[in-house]
Amino acid sequence: MSSTITVVKPVGVLDATQTDQLRSDIDDALQSGASTVLIDFENVSFMDSSGLGALVGAFKALRAHGGKLCICSINEQIRILFELTSMDRVFDIFQNQEEFKRLAIANTTV
């Protein structure tokens, strides 16, 4: 698999009504050959457990294809959700896209 990086930027509230779009965007990234998907939460104001479930599913799908899921720009509510569910230990979380580019890409850890 190539080392292609795709950025997915969900918007608004990431709940049961929006997770299908997120899954579709990630499936499109996989179909286009992405080996790393960076989900940028900059424009997401709230995420519930269904959004978290979609991320876990995406994580598993990417891993099954030899890829990697990374996350950036999470707000305090999403950070707390990750910490309460210990998902902060599963996902590679970056402060923003710039930090992702500087650390993950430069160190080829993706």
Annotated domain spans of the chain: 12-95
Note the pLDDT of residue 64. 92
Quote the pLDDT of residue 103.
Answer: 86
The model's pTM is 0.89
pLDDT on residue 108: 57
Share of residues in the chain with pLDDT > 70 (%): 92
Mean pLDDT computed over 73-85: 96
Residue 2 has pLDDT above 60, yes or no: no
Where does 12-95 sit in CATH, by number? 3.30.750.24
DSSP of the chain, one letter per residue? ---EEEEE---EEESTTTHHHHHHHHHHHHHTTEEEEEEE-TTEEEE-HHHHHHHHHHHHHHHHTT-EEEEE---HHHHHHHHHTTGGGTSEEESSHHHIIIIIITTT--
pLDDT at 104: 73
Task: Return the higher-pLDDT residue of 57 and 110.
Answer: 57
